[in-house]
């Protein structure tokens, strides 16, 4: 009996001896990760937290992916002193062990170790979107920037490591995200309604953001909306208390934060909200997710239904037409110098080229910001 007890322990010891520690996996055994290893070595507290990780998947940027950051010593120092470096590296740690065979063509949204409320206001930690893209396992982050696995399944004692060809970007707040997605009319409408800070500070939101063409299509009436009317319209595009990625959107109803019912319909894989079509899904936010839609939702027309055969979505506002002053709500909005192009047109893939660097984001404003409306959006299956 004594030998039977000792044999499993002996096997476990052999397996443990064959599985490298994180330090070894990042260091001597993988020269393409020397830059990441150097960053961790220069930050003992971060390194200690990484060495204690269990049951995780580390998305480790290669030397090429980190080249710009490593060379920019001033930025790297600023990242380190501000605590952003810790947040950035935490965003590269997936909760759970996912080998490359875990991913398919269908998106999954995986929580990461980034739960610092300064940069993330999503319950369970900020997420990355993961799926096969062009036969490569690809991870989509802020503004659909992405990075793919170049070397898979480098196992270590705490889980596994995938070497990736880009540095993941932490999702930004709603104002920066809408601006950089060229959803400037939506951003301007939220600003005009004085709701920017409230939405930024609300945990777990789902926003259906009309593109600029959708706002232009009702330009004849936007100038006549009272402050309360505009707030009601904005509120009809936001779900509070639940982050509903595209994989969660099924035939169902939900109460928007203005208390009125939204109807979600899925037809042949295309998602509709009332009569508006989701053209770009799953743009990650610091506090949730944005889905781009091709129509402005009318809180006084909750029975609007989609027409999958139509080539364009009819405005949900009776009598509305394009105005003469261009795109409404954009006069006071700064035109972004760099945008996410897929959000500008219907039918966009929602994908951009792989990102090789990270920009310092504005903080989410989650701390101390007032909630927009109370209560959670409850989904009810039809």
Strands 205-210 and 288-293: parallel
144: left (phi over 0), alpha (psi -120 to 50) or beta: left
The parts of the chain modelled with pLDDT lower than 50 are 1-16, 341-342, 344-382
Domain ranges across the chain:
2-164, 174-381
Alpha-carbon span 255 to 314, nearest angstrom: 23
CB atoms within 10 A of CB 115: 17
Alpha-carbon span 49 to 92, nearest angstrom: 13
Alpha-carbon span 249 to 266, nearest angstrom: 8
Alpha-carbon span 25 to 46, nearest angstrom: 16
pLDDT at 371: 25
Q: Residues 161, 164, 167, 173: is their CA dihedral positive or negative?
A: negative
Q: Is 54 exposed, middle or buried (0-12, 13-18, 19+ CB in 10 A)?
A: exposed
Q: Tokens 């899925």 label which residue?
A: 266
Nearest to 105, CA basis, from 134, 128, 127, 144: 134
Q: Which fold has domain 2-164?
A: FAS1 domain (2.30.180)
Nearest to 275, CA basis, from 322, 214, 358, 356: 214
Alpha-carbon span 293 to 236, nearest angstrom: 13
Alpha-carbon span 42 to 148, nearest angstrom: 26
Tens-place pLDDT, residues 339-360: 564 454 433 344 433 333 444 4
Q: What SS3 class is residue 70?
A: helix
Q: Does domain 174-381 have CATH number 2.30.180.10?
A: yes
Alpha-carbon span 86 to 61, nearest angstrom: 15
pLDDT at 338: 58
pLDDT at 335: 75
Same CATH topology for 2-164 and 174-381? yes
pTM of the predicted structure, to 2 decimals: 0.87
For residue 154, which phi and psi values (nearest 5 degrees)?
-90, 95
Helix ranges (DSSP H) in 132-211: 174-180, 184-192, 196-200
pLDDT at 27: 76
Q: What SS3 class is residue 110?
A: strand
Strand segments (E) across 65-224: 93-95, 108-111, 127-133, 136-140, 146-156, 159-164, 205-210
């Amino acid at each position: 009996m004594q030998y039977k007890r000792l044999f499993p322990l002996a096997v476990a010891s052999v397996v443990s001896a064959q599985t490298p520690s994180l330090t070894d996996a990042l260091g001597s055994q993988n020269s393409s990760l020397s830059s990441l290893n150097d960053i961790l070595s220069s930050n003992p507290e971060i390194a200690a937290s990484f060495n204690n990780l269990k049951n995780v998947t580390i998305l480790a940027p290669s030397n090429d992916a980190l080249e710009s950051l490593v060379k920019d010593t001033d930025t790297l120092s600023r990242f380190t002193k501000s605590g952003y470096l810790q947040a950035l590296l935490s965003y590269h740690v997936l909760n759970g062990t996912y080998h490359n065979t875990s991913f398919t063509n269908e998106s999954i949204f995986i929580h990461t170790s980034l739960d610092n409320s300064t940069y993330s206001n999503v319950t369970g930690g900020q997420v990355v979107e993961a799926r096969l893209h062009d036969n490569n396992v690809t991870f989509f982050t802020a503004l659909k920037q992405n990075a793919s696995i170049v070397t898979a399944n480098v196992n270590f004692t705490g889980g596994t490591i995938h070497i990736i060809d880009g540095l993941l970007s932490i999702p930004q707040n709603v104002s920066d995200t809408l601006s950089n997605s060229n959803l400037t009319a939506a951003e301007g409408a939220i600003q005009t309604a004085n709701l920017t800070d409230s939405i930024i500070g609300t945990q777990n939101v789902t926003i259906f953001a009309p593109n600029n063409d959708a706002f232009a299509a009702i330009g004849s009436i936007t100038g006549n909306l009272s402050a309360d009317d505009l707030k009601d319209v904005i509120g009809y595009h936001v779900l509070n208390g639940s982050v509903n990625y595209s994989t969660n959107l099924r035939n169902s109803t939900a109460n928007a934060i203005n208390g009125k019912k939204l109807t979600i319909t899925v037809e042949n894989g295309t998602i509709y909200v009332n009569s508006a079509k989701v053209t770009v899904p799953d743009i990650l936010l610091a506090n949730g997710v944005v889905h781009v839609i091709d129509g402005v939702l009318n809180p006084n027309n909750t029975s609007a239904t989609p027409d999958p055969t139509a080539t364009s979505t009819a405005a949900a506002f009776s009598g509305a037409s394009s105005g003469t002053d261009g795109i409404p709500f954009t006069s006071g909005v700064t035109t972004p110098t760099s945008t996410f192009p897929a959000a500008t047109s219907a039918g966009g893939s929602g994908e951009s080229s792989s990102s090789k660097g990270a920009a310092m984001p504005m903080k989410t404003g989650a701390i101390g910001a007032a909630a927009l409306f109370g209560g959670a959006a409850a989904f009810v299956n039809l």
